[in-house]
Amino acid sequence: MTSETNEPNVILTREGQSYYLHDPEQPGREAELFVLGFNKVKPQAHVIFFGVGLGYHIREFLRKYPNTSFSIVEPDTGLMNIFLQHLNENDWLADEMIEEVMVGGMTGETIGTLHRLIDRVSGVLVVPWLPYRSLFAAELKKFNEILYKMVSNKKDKMAINNVYEKKWALNSIHNLPYILHSSDFLQAGSEHIRGKPALVISAGPSLNDEIEHLRHIRENNLAYLFTVGSAVNTLVEHGIYPHGTFSYDPNEHNVNVIQKVIDKRIDSIPLIFGSTVGKHTLDHYPGRLMHIIISQDELSKHVLRTPEGNKPTIINDAPSVAVIALQCLIHMKADPVVLVGQNLAYRDEQYYAEGITHAQGVPASADLPRVQGVHGEQVVTRHSFIKMKTEMEFYISTVKGTEFINTTREGAVIKGTSFQNLKEVIQTRLKGAIDDSWLQTSSNSEYDLSFLRSRIEELQRDEEVFQAIMEQIHHALLGIKHKLSLKQANMLNVSFGQFDDLFASLLGNCFFKIYVLPRHRMRYEFLYSKMGAIQSSRNPLIRGEQILLYFGDFIWKCQQEYMEIKNEIHEFHRSIHI
């Protein structure tokens, strides 16, 4: 149908009632007033229009904000078909700024498309068309919930990268000698731990309840006892020495977690360290060292191979050391895997066990989230605990045939586990003794040292290529700046091609990928989110300005970083050849 101004309109029928998707008299004017409600849209924002209708509001929005990238979500396939029938070839659907078109319900394919979109954009503004807020309220609510989770996860990831990206890279360099002089925990322990019971002991307040049970298990060697993080302090305080303790935090103060073991000169507790662990964690540890390679360690992944030519097994970085330990035990096929002190919730305004000397408790407050507890009650938690819980549940869900038992009293339910008291587990599941002699036998890692040296030599050669590429990129950017000042649009296209080739060479350079790029994950992700729009821009002058702004900033920061760390890299390279 058409309006009084001869503009087409759509009527949607729901439960016998008819609803206009646009103003029945002046749909174009309605769209203008709607867009006026947006005072100012940030240039970096990506707009997601929820509800297309006949596109009046989208057309008007893009008229006011022509350089804004956007996507559309239309929950009703029938309405999308009507819109397409009224579309002309000059309409906004052919606009170069459009990213994604998602039609229908939030199914796996649509969710995947949305996830990839959120990964590559730097900010999101959701614009639901007015009638859709009531006509498609359930669909909009579900969309917003999914989007919120995706954006929240990305923010968490960005926050972690922002804090740790430089630490990961430098810790990898500092820790490689320790890796070469320690055994691979996964390789050394798999045949011994396979099919054997193993406990992951965390520092939650419920750990205090289990001290005597843990003492009984350790004295009779009924299962492997592995502490994570601060839990080692509680056990040592009670005279219980676990079979090993996991540590992986990249911060320099991570050494405080094991300071009690260092001060007491306890040499019978192996330290199972992540390869990106804080650089001073390992320097004075009195006991045996065993390593695991963490996914953020680009250096070890590149230079380490077994004598058979195999890459080391990689453990994914995680929000909690307990998740690191869980991944290891899953890989080694321990059975059952028993969780102790993994509260993932507050208990009487406490979330650390006694004996933890470096951490302060945080009182639980009414505005904190609540989750299902193991005794059927609701327990107070916090968002970081929920994230840890979600990751644990994910890894547990990937395993078939392994029993996971949660013994944590007054803790959160962890899906995929059954709740049992530790005393009951001892009586029913821990029957025989395990052999822990392999944990006390020191040995170096068995990596191919000739391969390591050859890779270091390649990196040294690639550094020279890296320097040359950076110099060429610098000149290319100056050339683009000069042509922009002269408004030489035609000549700019030639410069763009040359710049694209140089940037592709930089991304393919191993020295850059191993030493420089990992320290700029955040900046590169931001740049990547802009690449599509920059490269598809039809205006050479606008494209040139964007290259100088976004690529120029990234290249300058990378050059700065290289100058700061190159001496440390050179010293590391020399040490490998000694």
User: Contact, 542 vs 489, CB < 8 A?
Assistant: no
Angle between helices 521-536 and 137-180 (to 10 degrees): 130
- Closest by CA to 193, choosing from 243, 248, 267, is 243
The continuous run of DSSP H or E covering 530 comes out as helix 521-536
Query: CATH code for 172-440?
Result: 3.90.1480
Write the pLDDT tens digit of every residue in 192-231: 999 999 999 998 888 999 999 999 999 999 999 999 989 9
In 344-427, where do the E strands start and end?
370-372, 378-380, 404-406, 418-419
How far is residue 403 from each of residues 246, 351, 391, 549, measured CA to CA in Å?
A: 22, 26, 17, 54
213 or 112, which is more confident?
213
Please write the tens of the pLDDT for every residue from 252-291: 888 889 999 999 999 999 999 999 999 889 999 999 999 9
Q: If you average pLDDT over each of 25-29, 283-287, 382-386, which comes out highest? A: 283-287
Long-range contact pairs involving 542-546 (C-beta distance under 8 Å, separation at least 24): 542/67, 543/492, 543/496, 544/480, 544/481, 544/483, 544/484, 544/492, 544/495, 544/496, 545/484
Query: What are the extents of the domains in the chain?
Result: 11-135, 172-440, 448-577
**CA distances for 240 relative to 30, 217, 405, 488, angstroms:** 73, 10, 22, 75
CA–CA separation, 154 and 157 (whole Å): 5
Model-wide pTM > 0.85: no
Q: Do domains 11-135 and 172-440 have the same CATH topology?
A: no
Question: Would you state the pLDDT for residue 528?
Answer: 80
The answer to whether 221 and 361 are in contact (CB under 8 A) is: no
Record: fold of 11-135: Rossmann fold (3.40.50)
